[in-house]
Structures are given as C-alpha cells and as structure tokens.
Structure 1
Amino acid sequence: MTDLPTGPIVLHASGYGTPLVMLHGLGADHTFWDFAAPLADSFRLVSYDLPGHGATPAPAEPYGVEDLSQQLADLFRAQHIGRAHVAGISLGGLVAQHFAAHFPALVDRLVLIDTIPRYTAEMRAMFTARAAAARSRGVAALVDDLLPIWFSEAALREDGPAVRQVRATLARSNDEGYALACEALASADLLAEAPRIVARTLVVWGSDDAPSFVEAAHWLAATIPNARPAAIPGTRHASVLERPDLALPILREFLNAE
C-alpha cells in the first residue's frame, strides 16, 4: 500500500528502463495489464489499483477524473518519477488525457486506449443507472451484461484466459467503488483538454467497439496535435487484452520510435 495525499493505493512495478505507467478501466484492476509483461524487457512497468478497485479502498466521498489525475501526479512524486510514458484504457484513458493536459512535463509518450473525452447524454444516463444497479444488486449480478461490452462474440464463445480474467475481476468488484467510478465517468468532460496535449500520442481502439468510442478515437487522433491512430481489428472495448498479439507490437514500436 502506498499512501498519497489523495489516499492510499496498491502499487505494482516490474522491469527496468523508462517508466511506463498504466491505468486500468472501470471494474478492472492492475492485473488488466498482465498482458503487457513482455514490455518489462524495455520499460519499468508501473500499475496500480484505482480507488475502489482491486485492493485499493473506495473513497468515502464522490470524486471526478480530475481527482484521479491529481492522484497520479502524487504517485509520480512519491515514486520519484520525473517523466514517464503513460497508458490508459477507458476510465484510465480519461485520467491519462487530463494528466497529459495538466502535467505535460511529466508525460513523455501517451497511449489512449478504448477511451473517450466525454460520454454522450445516453451513455451518461447509462452510467448513472449502472451505479444505482451496482449499489442495489451488486456488480457480480451485472457481469453477464458487461462482458459483451468488453469482448467480441468470438472471444466470448472461446472463453479464453482474458475473458475469464475479466469475469473474475468484475465478480469480486467493490460495489460502492464501482458505483463511484460510474458517477465519475458520467460527469467527465475533457473536450477542452485534447488540444492542450503536447505529448506524442497513440490512440488505440477496437474496430468493433461501440460507435461512440470509435468516433471518439478518430476525434482524439485528429484533435491531439501529435497523435496517430491504430485500430485493433475484430475487437471491442478490451481491444488490447483480447488481441495482445496485435497490440503489443504496436505499443512497442510506438514507445521505442525515435
């Protein structure tokens, strides 16, 4: 457990080299990034459980993406990280957007995966309803409805390690932690941040993700001044986890490029 001004977090690190700080999405934890372990031959991989996820306790009060961005800055200071690559998926991608816009000196390269700067009104209402369902029914009761958002039909039929990992992680979710994160997503509005991002950026998305995410990926790639796009074919919202064989070479090439 690492104590920060914004609260305690559970931190995990491996490898050597330039730090690559990795932020997971809603309902996940640091183990989402286990697929990236081969990158430890070139980078110091740093991941942690966001508030109310994994072993990090849920906060006592509501929070926003901006608070998670400040928490990340606190982590950099606590771990004496002067500058790092930052990667975030979904919720983690929103945190990464805000962090790169507000703490540009700390970000070398930025990887935004299956994320969005602001949800549509319909999706914001969905997150509000999902928060209520998490509190009343528990996240474990929602797993069967959530998995088709994460994975393609082919991946769900195969029921491989990635699907089983996400199913297990969701099933043991902290219900209040999940609900608070849903509410943070519903209130997030980062449309003004993208033009401020100066880091060289890779925008990754699953080709079969929900249309709002595909549209957001194209918007981010066009709006962030130094961004490039990369679609992972045949995948949905957990694109890099479903196809690490395609994702890891893309990530490695981007992070190692001169």
Structure 2
Amino acid sequence: MNRSLLDNLTYATLLSLDYGKSSGSGFFLKFNGEDFLITAKHVLFNDSTLRCKTLTVSSQNPRSVNEDSKMFELDMTQVPVLYSKTNDVAAISFGVIENSNLNSNINLIQAGTLETISIDQNSTRRIEEIGIANEVFLIGFPTSLIFQNSKHFDPGKPLLRKGIIGGINLEDNTFIIDCSTYYGNSGAPVLELCEDNQLRVIGIASRYIPFVIEWRNNRETSVTHPEYLNSGYSVCVPMNSIFELISQ
C-alpha cells in the first residue's frame, strides 16, 4: 500500500464552530491551484442559515502536539461559502495555504511547525470508479466520543476507522461504507485503497445509518419508545458532488 496519504494527515481538519459550541470534520483539497476547505453542508448550515459567526480550522498529525498544529480563524459573516442545494457538501476557498496567500477574512492564528498539505485533485476518485468491497479509511474528529477527564485520545488529533465500500447508489449520488461514524465525523474524508494499491480520496462522511429498536409497555401496548443505535454503516457524498460545487 502507498501510505503517503496516511503518513501526513494534515489535510484532515477539525472544525470548531463559535469556539467549541459545535464541531465537525473536513479536509483541504487542491483544485486548479487553489486550496479549498471541504466539509458536509450540515456542519456549517441549518438549511441555508449559517450555524456560526466564527469558524476555527486546525490540522495536525496523530504524533504531533497541539502547539505543532496550524490553525485558521474565519469570520463566517464575511467569508463566501459555497454549498450544494441537493447534496450534503460545502466548500470555502482559502486561496493558497502554502505561501500564506490567504483569502480575505481568513486569518492564520497559529503557524505551528507542521506543513499543512492539501489533497491534489489527481489523488481522488469519482463514484463511477470506486469498487464494491474495496477497503476504506475514514479520517475524522469524532468529538462526541470524548468523555470527562479522558486521556485516551486528543480530540484535536485525527482518528482513523477502517471499513469497506458497502454499497453504491448512483441515482442518489451517494455510497455506503461499512464503517461507524459519530457526531463530529461529519465532513471527514474517506480514502479508498484502489486496485492499483494506491490510496485516493473518494468523498466525505455525511451521516450514520441508524438501527431502530422499539420498546413497548407490556401493560399499555400503545406506549412505545424508539431507540436509535448506530448500525455501523454510514452514508457518504462522493467527489463528484464536490467537484461540481467548486467548479461553479
């Protein structure tokens, strides 16, 4: 396996809305020489209304410390945000991160020591090319798994899960991975181990698929209580939707 996309995970980003009131995941994509932050639409929007005034974006590697990470702060009342009306995807143009030629209203608040990279558009794959049962890696920030005083893992560092391509829905323009996602993982990049042993980004995590259990009162059968559990399957938005959005 070509591990280049696993050795440096700084393209994966933690998104903090209004200084921690909510969070999500995303990644940096290099498209026609410009860096874009890609995430799920519902991370940033309730319908068409922005969910925050300030967005903090940070990236680091699993072995790094917080002081190494690169951090950006965005004034969301001024930054133009692209979002799809039909797919769960949003994008923000950053300019060029490598030489700090950032677009207005995007501020570098911590330079860190790590070189933040972007996934080149040539290191991606569209939904028509992905293969059923191929291995996938999900790289995100499931902040909902953090419990009080936990020292098991740092919520600011990317956490990986491994699964397979479980299904493809060309009509709905989505695919399913046999991989659990949790709150905070929305917008996380999904990498496929392709037939040529290369890793390519194929889309982002959108939502988990619930497994529903319904409890009934044995004396009052009309009284029920549904319980929603994580089935272990997740719906993902493919790169097709991302390219269609930023090509506009």
TM-based fold match above 0.5: no
Please report the TM-score for the alignment, with normalisation by the length of structure 2: 0.25
Please report the TM-score for the alignment, with normalisation by the length of structure 1: 0.24
Normalized per residue, the structure richer in strand is 2
Larger Rg: 2
Normalized per residue, the structure richer in helix is 1
